[in-house]
Amino acid sequence: MKESAQQPHDVRGPIVFAFALALAVYLAWVVRGLLVLLYVSALFAVVLTPVVRATSRLRVGRWKPFQGSVAILILLLAAAAALAAFGFLALPPVIRDLQTLSGELPTRVPAILAKLKQVPFADRLNAGEVISWVQSSLSSAAAYLLLSFKAWAGALVKVAAGFVLTLYFILEGGAAYRWFLSFLPPQPRQRLDQTLQRAALRMEKWLLGQLSLMLILGTVSTIVYLALGVRYAYALGILTGLLNVIPVLGAAVSLALAMLVAVIDSWGRVLGVAIFFGTYLQIENSWLVPRIMQSRVHLPALAIFTALLLGSALGGIPGAMVAIPTAVLVSVLLDEYLVRKNEA
């Protein structure tokens, strides 16, 4: 009788825990967007903290002018100055040519069609139909932009919120990190701390590798664009290097932009741009990435590619940008708590 009287008290705890766990999972699903934003901001803070730390170590004699929030402010001002210089130097020629092209569109289309008619199965195009199609496409694009203003505004708000969160994580991430570890007993706390520090070091190496790839692609593409005589070579080269931070999609967008600009002048330049991108992507995927990225993050090429696919499928562009650091973190945790679990 005593055992039967105590039985309800024995199962009450697991039942309450199951309901609490289900409620926590439901709440996490409801606020999954906010959790993803926090996670992405924290990862960006981890990979950008070494840059802030290196800036804070700069000194003039014995004086260190860039410490703490001042280093972050200097980096923000440098980024803003770079964007402003890019806008003043690269955008005016593009805007001027677009205005000229919009005014000369009815006279330029027949010349473009004459070139297109040299392509097989393109000799049936009509100039009037093409002009009306271009004008309707432009009006549809303008209407789409106006209708999707709310979505664009929401995306900008998320970007601004992620930017602010990244700054806070850089400034106060150490205190939050220590608060998180304080919930663990001393021995598991020390082990987890060493594991996360090792993952952070590999993430820093990934950042250096990614910056190296961006610099190489930006420099080489600018030289090729200048050699081919492509318009806006400097602007396209900078954009190509910057967009390389977005795996796969960045290269596709760069190729589309470069070919769109090259087609204004001649199909030979389009072919040259296509050949350059095809050759460079082969060299990057077969030689540069395995030697620069794989040696820094200690992940096989298949794992890197799988992480990129999963990140882009789950989180779009932000997911693809943090896919490799996430893969590094997961690999370090698995290595510590599954591969080396018998050594603890």
**What is d(CA 189, CA 62) in angstroms, rounded to the nearest whole number?**
37
Per DSSP, the three-state class of 63 is: strand
Residue 61 is assigned to a structural domain of this protein? no
The answer to whether residue 307 sits within a structural domain is yes
Q: Is residue 330 part of a domain?
A: yes
Q: What percent of the chain has pLDDT over 70?
A: 71
Alpha-carbon distance 275 to 12, whole Å? 69
- How many angstroms separate the most distant Cα atoms in the chain? 99
How far is residue 94's CA from residue 100's CA, in Å, rounded to a whole number? 10
Task: Give the pTM.
Answer: 0.64
The predicted structure's pLDDT at residue 92: 72
Q: Is residue 153 part of a domain?
A: no
Q: Examine the pLDDT at 8 and tell me if it is beyond 70.
A: no
Model confidence pLDDT, tens digit, residues 253-274: 888 888 888 887 788 888 888 8
287 lies in which domain range? 185-344
Q: Quote the distance between the C-alpha of residue 104 and its chain's center.
A: 37
In a domain, 7, yes or no: no
Over residues 45-81, the pLDDT tens digits come to 877 777 777 777 777 777 776 666 677 777 777 777 7
Q: How many domains does the chain have?
A: 1
pLDDT digits (tens, 9 = 90+) for 175-225: 888 888 888 888 888 888 888 888 888 887 777 778 888 888 888 998 998
- Strand, coil or helix: 280: helix
- 197 is a domain residue: yes
In a domain, 263, yes or no: yes
Alpha-carbon distance of 313 to 92, in angstroms, equals 36
- Kindly give the residue spans of alpha helices, DSSP state H, lying in 148-185: 149-181
Q: What is the C-alpha to C-alpha distance for residues 119 and 122, in angstroms, rounded to an integer?
A: 6
